[in-house]
Amino acid sequence: MIPDNTETDILTFSLPEQAAPAVIDAAAGTVSIDVPAGTDVTGLAPDLITLSRRATIAPDTGVVQDFTLPVTYTVTAQDGVTTRDWTVSVNLLPSSIAHITGFAFAEEAIPAVIDDINFLVDV
């Protein structure tokens, strides 16, 4: 008889909103996922979590979580006894759009005109 598997690894973890593949650190028991700036991290649900052979996870795929702070996921091995807690963190990437919101010279007579469409500043 083959003994039950005692592995408790997260092999993949993904959110529909993520900007790049998750960074999984098995030694530390962490998963780090980057999402675009402006993503509402208070209601995200993983769409795919791959685990060690015949392991289970709680909360499960599709369960909405608030990732404002790291969320703990518990993986239970096939043996039903061995467990491991994993910390999943979602990080907002900085905005890739830079806007000039003000521009001035001490000597200018009138305020600068900023054109966000054509990326021009008229002083």
> Tokens 């005692």, residue?
6
User: What pTM did the predictor assign?
Assistant: 0.76
- The predicted pLDDT at position 119 comes to 61
Output the tens digit of pLDDT for each of the chain's 123 residues: 778 899 999 999 999 999 999 999 999 999 999 999 999 999 999 999 999 999 999 999 999 999 999 999 999 999 999 999 999 999 999 876 666 667 677 776 777 777 655 666 777
The residue type at 90 = V
Q: Are 50 and 11 in contact (CB under 8 A)?
A: yes
